[in-house]
Every structure is written in structure tokens, then in C-alpha cells.
Copies of this chain bind each other. A is one copy, B any other.
Amino acid sequence: MLAHGTVVTMDAQRHIFRDGAVAFQGRDIVAVGETDQILTQYPEAQIVDVRGHIVIPGLVNAHTHMPMSLLRGLVDDQRLDVWLLGYMMPVEREFVRPDFVRWGTLLSALEMVKGGTTTFCDMYYYEDEVARAAAEVGMRGICGQTILKFPAPDAATYDESLEYTRGFIERWKDHDLIIPAVAPHAPYTATEDMIKRCVALAVEYDVPLHIHLAETEKEVRDNYRERGAPPIVWAEQVGLFQAKVIAAHCVHIEEREMDLLARYRAGVAHNPSSNLKLASGIAPVVAMREHGVTVGIGTDGAASNNDLDMFEETRLAAFLPKGISGDPTALPAEEAFAMATIEGAKALHMDHMIGSLEPGKRADIVVIAVDEPHARPQYALSDENVYSHLVYTAHASDVRHVWINGRPIVKDRVVLTVDAEAVYEKAQAFADRIADFLSKREASLLDKLIAIGGLKRSETFEIQVKARIASPDQVVQVLHNDPDIEIVKHTIRQQYDTYFLFNGRDAGIIRYREDNVIRTTDEHGSPVSLNVEPIYTLTLLGPTHEREYGNSIILSRSRFTAPAMYSLRFYKEYFQPKRIKEVVKWRDRYRIRYKGEDFAINIDKLSKPPEEGYFLEIKSRTWSEEDAIRKAVLAGELLEKFGVRPNEIVRGEYVAF
């Protein structure tokens, strides 16, 4: 029993006992009130004197990704897509295994309990390990097993994920600390079928469903375009809210969506630090609450925050509505503190067991010291002073003792249930391996290209000769009239090339090409039906090897090409080239056969950088030295047929102009 503290109950009447006590037996609170009175009720109880301290219900972190503390500070200040697609996902693909999940969870649990958080709501992979590690520390948590429509680190398909999740729920459903949950990642990473099956599973076992909803403007825009409705409206249409939903973020949300969340009693997890840091925006917390939505507070994962500090998060949750609305009375301290405790518990559908200090609820209790200068002086004019202290002044480092489920977890700022040094050591070992992986990748454009996926690891070489010509006609006439030349296909294209240049002779060059095919004709000169979508390709051009062959110059180089799935801006930020150069040209491209070999004949007109006249390129793919020599000879013959003189041959590439 804790006695003589300022007990902030967060019960329905928001009782505060200035000389208060909390008695608990086993895992449950049995009495809360004035110390005198509770002492009379439980004269035999062992007393922990917390005089001069504040006693609060354990804080509820309504949204996080526990294992991601291992990625804390790895990379920041990047665009969301670069951060996610360029760093988080490649690293997760490479490193997320059960041991990563275990040690990351232990590290996060350490930080959380030291900072007064007793309950978390998680979403990650290998959630069995999250549950096991949290239970080991003695933390309470909702553990949401992630389900994606893509392959995930722990499953190749969502069928596999759903099967794993069912087993996971079966294994944990009767645990005293862990509540298993189904966690379809987000609407934009789900199919309708996937959501429906997640909901069915959650309903079957009556477990919560944890999901990201309406985090970014882009998500909302895309959902409108692809499904004709904003994410939460769509989610309702596909039956999401038949489950007990915990929705993270809800930053970009319409009023009708607030009404849906309220009607279906979905809980919202507001993550102000993450939403600011990743530039998602600021969730309309006050409006949601006015619409009757229950809103808790979450830290999100440590990779996007970068800490798991519920005091910081609650302070920010209280600050933002004021600054945004111009109304300093918006979301007063008491309400912000409620969001971090009882409202958070409601948002997690757990308010029958946690969120306030009341008889019958679990003994999740935090004792806050007021010994540091920032905690001085203490005003006691009204209850508001206490909430004000907790929200605007108290720091995570002020947490002195923590009990969870009646078990002492932190005593005098030391975590009792886990060997912290062992966790730190393992965490650092992971960080060192990840840094090693990334620094190798950063050193090689190819590895960096492969890391973001989509590239087939296939190297090709080509021979090439290039010459200035006065007019296309001198080539086109020959192509059509020479009996040895057969035109296979003819296209007219406009090509926008952006070259990323790097320092170092062997660094290579990345080319991002937007290729607009304007007109295509077949071998008979008949137009071929046209796909008007531009083709985006990303090519890594290796160092060039230049050799002269008779009157032609042969360039050969390695090339890795892949469809460019992301935007030019993404690649710019991901590769961070030293210089960028653009080349824009019209290209008449003939695919021909000449003496049994395939050649591409390009007649190019450069508009950027602007160049007088035209360029002729003769190219062919090659695989061997011998083949290269044979093709070089043939290219020399073609040059002669086109009437190109040796002094018209151009060395170097457009990018070097």
C-alpha cells in the first residue's frame, strides 16, 4: 500500500487525495482514498511512504512499434518515402528476425517503464516475441500482429500472416498482461479481402484490431482516387468497425469520419511527435473529442519520434491545439492527462481494467518525484495545479517507482525485472550491424539500388558509336534503301533524362529516364497501337571502357536497369548525387537487323543542352569480347553507309556535354 502521496485517481469524479493512499492485493487495487481512512481499512498492510510524491495511474502509450527502438536515430529529417522505402523497409527486410524483435522490445520496455508507461499498444512482426519480451519485463500491452498485402519479414503472404496471427492469439489470449490483436497495417497496404478476414479473426476471438488510419494527405488522396472514399469511410464500408478498432493517427479526417469513429466506439491513438517529425500534419484532436471520439496518446515507434516519452508526448498534445487554434484554453492540462491515462485506456478498450486508480482495477501505479528544480515550487491552489505540473512540467526522469499488475517493476528509478546492461549491449550490436550494412550500401550505388527493390540483378554490356550529322535524311534514306538493312520497328520518342553524378572515378552514374513514345510503326511502316503512359526507367551506368576499332569508337559498359517505381524527387533524395544534369531529346529510333545482328539506330535532336544539328547513335548489346569486336566492325560499315566521316565521330556521352 502506498500512503501519504498526492493521489491523482483519474476516476469519474477526478478525485485527487492530497494525503492519499492506494492499497492493492495481488494484481488488483482494493482501496483508494485519504491515507487515514485507508489505513483504518487495512491496518496490517505493508506501507510504502510516498510523502511529497505524486501517485498516478500508469501511463497508456496507445500506439507504438516496440522493436523499432533498435532503429532510433538511424536516419532522420528525410521525406517519408525516402525514410520508409529507402531506409526503414530495406533494413527491416534485412534484419527483422525474432531476435531483433525480442531485444528491441526489451529496450523499449525499459525506456517506457522508466518513464511511467505501464501499458502499450503495439504493431509489428513476430509479435510472439514482443509479447514474450514485454511479459518478461512485466509490462501490460496489446500486441498487434502486422498483416500486409505484400510479403512481410515474417510472412510471404497475408494468408500466412493470418494463420500465424490465429496461432498467436490462441497462445496469448488468456495471459494476464498481454492482449493479442490483429493488426492490418493500413488501408493502403490492404485489400478488401484482407481487411475482411482480419475483422473476422478479431471478432472470432473478441480481440482488438489495431490499424493505421488517415495518417497522411497522400493516403487520403490515393484512397479517394482508388476507392472513391476517404480511408475511414472506406473502412466502414468494408466492415472494419465490426471489430474493436484502435486507429492510429487520424490526422487527415473529415467530420463524417469522426462521426463513424464515435458511433462504432473506435479508439484513436494521437501521435503528435511522429506526425510533426514525419510532416504528416496535426491531428484535429479537439474536433474529434467534440464529435465524441475517444482519443488516447501514443509515441509511435522510436524511429519516428525518437523517444518513447509519454510525458513529452502529452505536453505536446496539450500545446498543439492551443497554438493552432489561437485558444489557450483548448485541451487544458487535465484533459491532456486524461488522454494519457483513462481516455487512452478507453481508446484501447481496456478501461474496465486500467487507466485510473480505482478499486477493482489492476494495480498499475506510477510514483512521480518532485525533487528536481523544474518541479519547484509546487502550488496547491486547486486540482488544476496538479494536472498542470504533470502535463507541463513533469519529465519522464521524474518517475521514481512503478508497479504493474501489482508487481514492482521500477524502484528508485531502477528497473527490477530485466538486465538493462545486457539489453544495451545487444541493442548496440544490432546498431553496429545495421550501420555496417547501410554504410556498405551507401558506398555502392548498386547495393543502394538493390536495397530499394525492383531491380533485377542482371548486368548487360553494349557497344556504341556516336557521330554528329547534319540532317536525319542521310541516315533515313540509307535505312530504307540499303538491301542489307531490315527495319524491324520505328519509334519516335521524347526522352527526359536526369543523370545523377557522383564523385570518384568508379562511382558510376544513375540515369532516371522518362521515355514518351510518340509514334510507333512496325516493319511495314504501319502504326502500332500506342500506350500513352510514359515509361520510367532507372539505370545504373557503370564506368565506360572506350576502345577504337577501325573508324568506329566502341564504348562498352555495364548497365543495370529497372522500372523506376518511385518519383524523381525520391531518387534524388535517396541517392543524394553530388551533381544533377538533365538531357532532353527527340529520338527517332530504328531497330534494325544488319548481317544477322540487331542494332539500334538512334537519330537524336537535343533540346537540353541545346545542340546544333543531329546526333547518330549506333548501339548493340553484347556479351563477349569476340562478339563486341564483330559488332564493332559492322557498326563501322554502317557508319560508312551513312556517310559519316571519322572526324564527325563524337567521344563521350550526352551527359558529358
Q: Which residues of A contact B (CB under 8 A)?
A: 69-70, 72-80, 83, 107-108, 110-111, 114-115, 217, 273, 275-282, 305-309, 312, 315-316, 318-320, 322-323, 325-330, 332-333, 372-374, 376-381, 384-385, 388-389, 392-393, 395-397, 420, 423-424, 427-428, 430-431, 434-435, 438-439, 442, 573
Q: Which residues of B contact A72 (CB under 8 A)?
A: 376-377, 393
Q: Are B397 and A107 in contact (CB under 8 A)?
A: no
| Complex Cα–Cα for A275 and B332 (A) | 15
Q: Are A377 and B79 in contact (CB under 8 A)?
A: no
Q: Which of B69, B77, B389, B427 contacts A73 (CB 8 A)?
A: B389
Q: Are B323 and A276 in contact (CB under 8 A)?
A: yes
Known: A79-B328, A83-B328. A73 touches B385 (CB 8 A): yes
**CB nearest neighbor in B for A115:** B374
Q: Which residues of B contact A381 (CB under 8 A)?
A: 74-75, 435, 438-439, 442
Q: Are B333 and A76 in contact (CB under 8 A)?
A: yes
| Complex Cα–Cα for A330 and B76 (A) | 11
| Complex Cα–Cα for A373 and B281 (A) | 28
Q: What does DSSP make chain A's interface, helix, strand, loop or mixed?
A: helix
Q: Are B393 and A77 in contact (CB under 8 A)?
A: no
Q: Are A431 and B393 in contact (CB under 8 A)?
A: no
A275 CB to nearest chain B CB (Å): 6
A443 CB to nearest chain B CB (Å): 11
Q: Which residues of B contact A330 (CB under 8 A)?
A: 279
Q: Are B325 and A279 in contact (CB under 8 A)?
A: yes
Q: Which residues of B contact A320 (CB under 8 A)?
A: 276
Q: Are A332 and B427 in contact (CB under 8 A)?
A: no
Q: Are A393 and B328 in contact (CB under 8 A)?
A: no
Q: Which of B329, B376, B420 contacts A428 (CB 8 A)?
A: B376
Contacts A74-B379, A306-B392 known; 9 new A-B pairs at CB < 8 A: A75-B381, A79-B328, A276-B323, A277-B392, A279-B325, A279-B330, A376-B424, A376-B428, A381-B442
A276 CB to nearest chain B CB (Å): 3
Q: Are A378 and B428 in contact (CB under 8 A)?
A: yes
| Complex Cα–Cα for A377 and B384 (A) | 38
Q: Which residues of B contact A77 (CB under 8 A)?
A: 328-329, 332-333, 384, 388
Task: Report 24 cross-chain contacts, Cβ distance below 8 Å, ordered by A residue.
Answer: A69-B376, A73-B385, A73-B388, A73-B392, A76-B392, A79-B328, A111-B373, A280-B323, A281-B323, A281-B326, A306-B388, A306-B393, A307-B392, A307-B395, A309-B374, A329-B573, A373-B420, A373-B424, A376-B423, A376-B427, A377-B424, A377-B428, A377-B430, A381-B438
Q: Are A277 and B322 in contact (CB under 8 A)?
A: yes
Q: Which residues of B contact A305 (CB under 8 A)?
A: 392
| Complex Cα–Cα for A273 and B442 (A) | 38
Q: Are A276 and B110 in contact (CB under 8 A)?
A: no
Best-buried of A325, A326, A420, A430 by chain B (most CB within 10 Å)? A326
